[in-house]
Amino acid sequence: MSAKDPFQILADELTLIRKDMDQLQRTSLDKKDAQALHKKLAEGVDRMYRAAPEVQQAIDNRLMAVAAFLKEETTKAAEKAAKDAILNAHDESIDAARSLTQAAGEARRQAWRYFGGFWVWLTSMLATGVVLGLLLAYGTETAKAAFSIDTMARYGCGKLGIGGQLIEQSDGSSLCAFWIKLPEQSGN
């Protein structure tokens, strides 16, 4: 292979530059074409500038619609999750109650077997009788204390057929007297 001569390389490069210049001359705009292109570009930019608020409003409207949709869907999903959780908890509670009822029934049966049914019943009746007796005794004592003469005299002296007489003293105090023994009189 023979190497190209530097003069030939320079000539080839100049030919390429000439072709590029011809190409540029054919594709470049003249002043009239440049003004027409500028006018079209300016009109396009102006139309875009005037349409920008409408486009922004349309975008805002779309975003608000999407936000409302997301809010609604999120609310629905939350409600469904809450309902599912409540139903799950309810089912678990029912299962636990059923299990406890079965365990209580088994414990009751075991108690009947261990202690004997009659003795458990008799003991529970005696315990109930003791509790009722204590309540009756307490109620009787309370009623007796409430209707004692002291209480009646303090609050109902001379009233309600209790008897007694209210005596006012010179120092401002008073007393309720149920019987007064008068001095014997000579001559009777």
**pLDDT at site 6:** 74
**pLDDT at site 73:** 92
Question: What are the residues facing 175 on neighbouring strands?
Answer: 167
Estimate the crossing angle of helix 31-115 against helix 117-146, to 10 degrees.
100
**pLDDT at site 1:** 53
Residue recorded with tokens 């530059």? 17
Q: Give me the average pLDDT of each 10-residue run along the chain (188 residues).
A: 72 81 70 79 80 83 91 90 87 87 86 72 86 87 67 59 73 78 70
**pLDDT at site 171:** 93
Residue recorded with tokens 């001569």? 5
**pLDDT at site 2:** 61
Q: What is the CA radius of gyration of the chain?
A: 58
The domain spans of the chain are 31-115, 116-146, 156-181
**pTM to 2 decimal places:** 0.32
List all residues 6 or more positions away from 157 whose beta carbon is below 8 Å from its beta carbon. 164, 165, 166, 176
**pLDDT at site 69:** 92
**pLDDT at site 148:** 64
Strand, helix or coil at 177?
strand
Q: Rounded distance, CA 35 to CA 177, Å? A: 132
**pLDDT at site 142:** 76
